[in-house]
Amino acid sequence: MSDFANSLSVSASGLRAQSQRLVHVSENIANADTPGYRRKTVAFETEFKGAGAQGTVAPGPVQLDRRELAKVYDPGHPLADETGQYDGSNVDLIIEIADAREAQRSYEANLKMFEQARQMSSRLMELLRK
């Protein structure tokens, strides 16, 4: 039974981590046109809690993408320097969309495992009937 409990909590941690990732992706997309905005990325880490070899996943610290900011030419912009350019953001929409898709797929996979563990344990409980 504790295996199923483990399985459920690990899957739940996966769901949490993937939705956290999706939060950062949507932040990036929302700020794609914000001057000076740097893309946020997050790497996952495995957490081993206690003596049991239970490996839940947790999002690591948020990091900023260190790629150069895109230069936008717009002499009329209030932030433009003497060459008429200002710093845009370094968000690449295609990368963000691909990342969002990947997060969605992983979320679905975790959800499926959650459902399966639940089914297996309820099947076990059915043995007690009758």
Residue 125 makes CB contacts below 8 A (sequence gap 6+) with none
90 lies in the binding site for other proteins (CB under 8 A) = no
CB atoms within 10 A of CB 91: 24
Alpha-carbon distance of 100 to 22, in angstroms, equals: 6
| 91 backbone φψ class: left, alpha, beta (φ>0; ψ -120 to 50) | beta
The least CB distance from residue 73 to other proteins, in Å, is 35
Binding flags for other proteins, 19-38, as an x/- string (CB under 8 A):
--x-----------------
110 lies in the binding site for other proteins (CB under 8 A) = yes
49 lies in the binding site for other proteins (CB under 8 A) = no
Between 70 and 109, CB nearer to other proteins: 109
Q: Which amino acid is at 114?
A: F
123 lies in the binding site for other proteins (CB under 8 A) = yes
The least CB distance from residue 24 to other proteins, in Å, is 13
Residue 47 makes CB contacts below 8 A (sequence gap 6+) with 13, 55, 56, 57, 58
Residues near other proteins, by CB under 8 A: 1, 3-4, 6-8, 10-11, 13-14, 17-18, 21, 43-46, 53-57, 102, 105-106, 109-110, 112-114, 116-117, 119-120, 123-124, 127
